[in-house]
A and B are shown apart, each in its own frame.
Chain A
């Protein structure tokens, strides 16, 4: 889990693999691009990988991989048109890499409730993959937040721009508060959390740290529980489209800011350089990593994949 030990009783069955979710708030920051290329990195290392387009509003992962729009999608599964998740899993033509394409009739699917998400998750664990990568949509809808929370590893993609960073903070906060809300039944406390989501709340509580010291007064045990959650919540951070050394350093600054403000310790796993050849590959609908496997951005992606697997931080010494 993004939270290391889960309590959501999701019945992981015999699934020994890992679920990664790639999100981050703002649209167009490169989430789908990074998801598909991370998937390719892993598959090239001989792992079985399943990519899931969980962007229930604007599915386009298939196009990052150069596959045509499939005739079965996630919505067929969610609407129970097909019995098993395997019926909507398609081959990408890339060895070891399969895909579940996003739902196109999004109005219906956007209302997916928690039970349906859990059914989806449960079915995913029957897929024999080493890695399942969920490509999330922009924004902070409950679907997006829940998929992020369901994952073993939550990855946040940010570009070095004010709006992207602001949205990423909003995303982190929303994910975190949603998690806290899920683990308590106490109505009063859930109300406080809802209240605190609004930055200008009457309580004057701005940060999770303040929230938790407030909760501790009301209920020590829940306060303690929340503290543990903060420690367990360790999303990964990727900075995409960097052009300067300063852009790379923004990753370290975001990490520090999140630690001081939210108390949340992110792992800055790496950055991807801005590169003309990336959008050229995108335009040709060819996966970048297969087109330019020796390019600098390709190396960036590989390092990110490695750092995530090894649970390591970007090492300043090795910045390209």
Chain B
């Protein structure tokens, strides 16, 4: 069970993986009807913005699944175990946009505008550019090996990615004061433990770093400091 923006194309269209092209067609039409107008069914649960987001996802899904060639290609990707959650996690998109992979950046600088030379640009660089986002995150996660995710570290990671705290607050719906206190390690001005864990998890996911480890690490510092005071 996932949020719609973590779903695979079949889930987005609400069809089975062996759906016929007619079923895909029908599902697409129905989704368009549901999410493009002012449907009585949607307005009280989804904002216009969210409906638009769903529609984009539906369009994407339809574009891929309605042609045998692209659909087969996609099926292979699914089968290859690129788990649906890894496909297009929107929460990683944001940082990726603001901080494009350094390889890609430098490649642009070196590569001349000339089409011919572009074609013979070294292969490894090209893969780096086209690498699925999920793989990028994994790689980053690896580079954090040995790092203990305390507040100050989270702050550094966030700033390195050029993400403002406001954006985090807006996207995760976490109160900005809490975020500030989390980063500043003001352990006594944080919400109750259960809530704190949830916030940390969401925040870490948004940054695209290992959320479980973040919660673990942070809570270790948290209990240590809270314990000392008592």
Contact = CB atoms under 8 A, between A and B. Distances in A.
A162 interface: yes
Q: How large is the interface on A (under 10, 10 to 19, 20 to 34, 35 or more residues)?
A: 35 or more
A108 interface: no
Query: Which residue of B4, B31, B39, B54 has the most chain A CB atoms within 10 A of its CB atom?
Result: B39
A209 B2 contact: yes
Interface in A160-174: 160-162, 165-166, 169
B9 interface: no
Contacts of A192: 194
B143 to A, nearest CB: 24
Interface stretch (A34-42, A54-62, A122-130, A250-258): A250-258
B198 A214 contact: yes
A260 B53 CA distance: 12
Contacts of A217: 197-198, 201, 211-212, 215
Contacts of B40: 160-162, 165, 250, 253
Contact of B1 (A212, A257, A316): A212
Query: Which residue of B43, B173, B194 has the most chain A CB atoms within 10 A of its CB atom?
Result: B194
A69 B3 CA distance: 50
A254 B4 contact: no
Given A209-B3, A227-B1, A253 B195 contact: no
Contacts of A260: 4, 46, 54
Interface in A204-226: 204, 207, 209-210, 212-214, 217-218
Nearest to B42: A257
A263 B6 CA distance: 12
Contacts of A316: 26
A76 B30 CA distance: 49
Contact of B194 (A160, A166, A218, A259): A218
A202 B39 contact: no
Nearest to B2: A209
B201 A253 contact: no
Contacts of A253: 30, 33-34, 39-42
A256 B34 contact: yes
Nearest to B195: A203
A282 interface: no
Contacts of A9: none
Interface string A175-193: 0000000000000110010
A256 B30 contact: yes
Contacts of B195: 202-203
B14 A249 contact: no
A301 B48 CA distance: 35
A158 B54 CA distance: 24
A261 B46 contact: yes
Contact of B198 (A218, A227, A231, A256): A218
A140 to B, nearest CB: 15
Contacts of A256: 14, 30-31, 34, 41
Contact of B34 (A202, A212, A227, A252): A252
Contacts of A165: 40-41, 44
A157 to B, nearest CB: 15
B173 A209 contact: no
A252 to B, nearest CB: 5
B173 A204 contact: yes
16 contacts: A162-B44, A166-B44, A202-B175, A203-B198, A204-B174, A213-B201, A217-B201, A218-B194, A230-B1, A252-B34, A253-B41, A256-B14, A256-B31, A257-B39, A257-B46, A263-B1
Given A217-B201, A231-B1, A256-B41, 6 more contacts: A162-B40, A165-B40, A210-B3, A217-B215, A256-B30, A256-B34
Interface of A: 160-162, 165-166, 169, 188-189, 192, 202-204, 207, 209-210, 212-214, 217-218, 227, 230-231, 249-250, 252-254, 256-257, 259-261, 263, 316
Interface of B: 1-4, 14, 26, 30-31, 33-34, 39-46, 54, 172-175, 191, 194-195, 197-198, 201, 211-212, 215
